[in-house]
């Protein structure tokens, strides 16, 4: 049975004190009173508004990094240094990913504190409800913060750039960034690897030891300032163990440890198709973190209070949700981000000899350079002769067709094949997961048989005990019957003798009374 939190009891008491109709006599009604929706509505409204604001803040940070990429790429393209101009894409990608990593680390710490404060103003009744709501808020904010830049590169970058002659511009002067000629898969791999490794190295390892040490030092300095040392001759020079334990940082729960593993599980499963080495790096990180956590729990934190728990709670639902979401996301990464489906379609539908020869030419469309808008033409052409047509990567109709620059039939065929692959891949993986779950039971067969044997032994033991008790009760009942029968026989004998004695007494009394009347 879970008891209400002190904060909940305090809020409930304040509500009772405000209500003037309640008196001290109706104590039974006071026990039934609880916080209603109207009492919690300000907290729910604050939660909704602040969570929405922080999600928009994360998207704003991602958009800010996009603007940085666009402006920096434009600035480096005008550089006089040939090396700088040739490495524009690598420079912009590397610096943008590092900025993303720093923003993620900062916002993670802010979101953790804000999620705790938002849960407190909701005033949950029990400690379990408090933990579940805190975990949901912190996971939602940190999930969006950690994966928003990766989702952008995987599914949105290069999708809204327009086409030659009709490009999409930002701030009326900068073109939207697009993927490399080979696609966004390599950039997604770079982004995922740097963010995952940097987050694990800095947040999961350095912060694991550094932050408790800093807090311990701060607490020690604070205690020395607030409580001046008193000279006591009886006190030993060496500090006692309880003094050393008091200096340690209090244990705040396992939620941060679980959160690290959940976010890492997301990095490993959600985009494993683009970064297959993610599980290996996660394994190496966990081997190191096991020892760091052991050192932290033994030397840096106070001893935790033991709490009985049935299972890992809401974390299992979060893990299950990430597992199902990872199937869908990896299907879209393979179908949309990579060139797997276009290559497959070309080989089996458009290639004349069933090979990949001519695939690049098939993915390029024609554009008439005379259709460029004024002021957007290249200033210096590297070609000696005038160019009439250029090629760009897209499935569009040529300029001499009836619908120039519209999406071609190949575009819609590839799009339908991509969607069909997503549906087929998702259902196939889900079916295999259900099949494996059915084939491999949660409890092994030998253990289940052992449990059945133990239950049968217990049932036999209890039946034997009940049978012995029944025999004992029957023996007691038989003895009572025998005693009762012997007692009734004795009563009958005593009653017969008493009747004879009574009759003799009655005769003597009658003779005495007759004599008395005669007198």
Q: Is residue 288 part of a domain?
A: yes
Report the pLDDT value the prediction gives residue 32, as an integer from 0 to 100.
60
Residue 194: is its pLDDT beyond 70? yes
Mean pLDDT of 97-112: 90
Q: Is residue 495 part of a domain?
A: no
Q: Is residue 448 part of a domain?
A: yes
Nearest to residue 249, comparing CAs of 226, 282, 217?
Answer: 217
Each residue's pLDDT tens digit, 386-435:
788 888 888 999 888 888 889 989 999 999 999 999 999 999 999 999 89
Q: Is residue 100 part of a domain?
A: yes
Which string of DSSP letters, residue by residue, matches 93-105? Answer: HHHHHHHHHHHHH
121-130, 133-142, 368-377: segment of lowest average pLDDT:
368-377
Q: Who wins on pLDDT, 217 or 109?
A: 109
Q: Is residue 245 part of a domain?
A: no
Is residue 57 located within the same domain as residue 128? yes
Using 50, 70 and 90 to split pLDDT, how confident is the model at 230? Answer: low
Question: Are 301 and 290 a contacting pair, CB within 8 Å?
Answer: no
Residue 192: is its pLDDT beyond 60? yes
Q: Is residue 331 part of a domain?
A: yes
Using 50, 70 and 90 to split pLDDT, how confident is the model at 508? Answer: very low
The mean predicted confidence, pLDDT, of the chain is 82
> What does the alpha-carbon distance between residue 209 and residue 299 come to, in Å, rounded to a whole number?
10
Pairing between β-strand 166-167 and β-strand 162-163 as defined by DSSP bridges: antiparallel
Q: What is the pTM of this model?
A: 0.75
Domain with 399, as residue range(s), is 340-375+387-439
Which residue's entry shows tokens 């297959």?
276
Report the pLDDT value the prediction gives residue 519, as an integer from 0 to 100.
30
Is residue 205 located within the same domain as residue 330? yes
Is residue 331 located within the same domain as residue 198? yes
Mean pLDDT of 80-99: 84
Q: Is residue 484 part of a domain?
A: no
Is residue 59 located within the same domain as residue 143? yes
* Cα–chain center distance at 342: 35
Report the pLDDT value the prediction gives residue 13, as an integer from 0 to 100.
83
Residue 511: is its pLDDT beyond 50? no
Mean pLDDT of 116-125: 88
Is residue 414 located within the same domain as residue 451? no
Is residue 279 located within the same domain as residue 354? no
Could you give the 3-state DSSP secondary structure of residue 163? strand
Q: Is residue 506 part of a domain?
A: no
Using 50, 70 and 90 to split pLDDT, how confident is the model at 175? Answer: confident
Is residue 155 located within the same domain as residue 44? yes
Is residue 133 located within the same domain as residue 159? yes
Could you give the 3-state DSSP secondary structure of residue 366? strand
Is residue 82 located within the same domain as residue 129? yes
Is residue 144 located within the same domain as residue 170? yes
How many domains, in total, are found in the chain? 4
Is residue 42 located within the same domain as residue 167? yes
Residue 500: is its pLDDT beyond 70? no
Q: What are residue 502's DSSP bridge partners? A: none
Is residue 137 located within the same domain as residue 207? no
Which residue's entry shows tokens 């065929």?
413
- Per cent of the chain over pLDDT 70 is 88
């Amino acid at each position: 049975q879970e008891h209400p939190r002190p904060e909940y009891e305090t809020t409930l008491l304040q509500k009772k004190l405000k209500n003037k109709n309640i008196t001290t006599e109706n104590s039974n009604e006071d026990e039934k009173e609880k916080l209603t929706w109207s009492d919690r509505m300000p907290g729910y409204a604050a939660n909704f508004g602040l969570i929405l604001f922080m999600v928009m803040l994360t998207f704003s940070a991602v958009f800010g990094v996009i603007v940085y990429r666009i402006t920096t790429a434009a600035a480096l393209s005008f550089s006089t240094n040939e090396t700088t101009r040739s490495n524009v894409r690598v420079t912009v990608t590397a610096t943008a990913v590092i900025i993303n990593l720093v923003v993620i680390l900062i916002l993670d710490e802010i979101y953790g504190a804000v999620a705790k404060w938002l849960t407190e103003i909701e005033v949950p009744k029990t400690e379990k409800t408090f933990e579940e709501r805190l975990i949901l808020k912190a996971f939602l904010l940190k999930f969006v913060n950690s994966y928003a830049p990766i989702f952008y590169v995987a599914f949105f970058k290069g999708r809204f750039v327009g086409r030659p002659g009709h490009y999409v511009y930002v701030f009326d002067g900068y073109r939207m960034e697009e993927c490399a000629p080979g696609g966004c898969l390599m950039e997604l791999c770079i982004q995922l690897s740097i963010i995952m490794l940097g987050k694990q190295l800095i947040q999961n390892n350095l912060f694991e030891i550094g932050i408790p040490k800093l807090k311990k030092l701060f607490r020690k300095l604070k205690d020395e300032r607030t409580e001046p040392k008193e000279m006591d001759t009886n006190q030993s020079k060496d500090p006692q163990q309880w003094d050393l334990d008091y200096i340690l940082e209090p244990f705040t729960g396992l939620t941060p440890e679980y959160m690290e593993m959940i976010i890492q599980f997301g990095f490993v499963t959600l985009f494993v198709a683009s970064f297959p080495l993610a599980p290996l790096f996660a394994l190496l990180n966990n081997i190191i973190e096991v020892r760091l956590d052991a050192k932290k729990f033994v030397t840096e934190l106070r001893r935790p209070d033991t709490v009985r728990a049935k299972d890992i709670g809401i974390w299992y639902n979060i893990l299950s949700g990430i597992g199902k979401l990872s199937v869908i996301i990896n299907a879209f990464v393979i179908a949309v981000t990579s060139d797997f489906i276009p290559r497959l379609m070309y080989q089996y539908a458009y290639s004349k000899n069933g090979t990949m020869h001519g695939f690049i030419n098939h993915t390029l469309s024609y554009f008439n350079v005379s259709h460029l808008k004024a002021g957007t033409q290249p200033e210096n052409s590297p070609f000696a002769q005038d160019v009439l047509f250029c090629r760009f990567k897209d499935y569009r109709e040529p300029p001499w067709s009836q619908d120039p620059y519209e999406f071609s039939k190949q575009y819609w065929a590839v799009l339908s094949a991509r969607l069909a692959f997503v549906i087929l891949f998702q259902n196939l993986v889900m079916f295999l997961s259900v099949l494996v779950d059915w084939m491999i039971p949660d409890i092994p067969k030998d253990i289940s048989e052992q449990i059945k044997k133990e239950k049968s032994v217990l049932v036999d033991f209890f039946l034997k005990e009940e049978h012995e008790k029944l025999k004992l009760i029957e023996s007691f009942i038989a003895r009572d019957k025998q005693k009762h029968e012997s007692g009734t026989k004795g009563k009958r004998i005593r009653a017969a003798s008493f009747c004879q004695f009574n009759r003799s007494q009655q005769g003597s009394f009658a003779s005495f009374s007759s004599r008395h009347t005669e007198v």
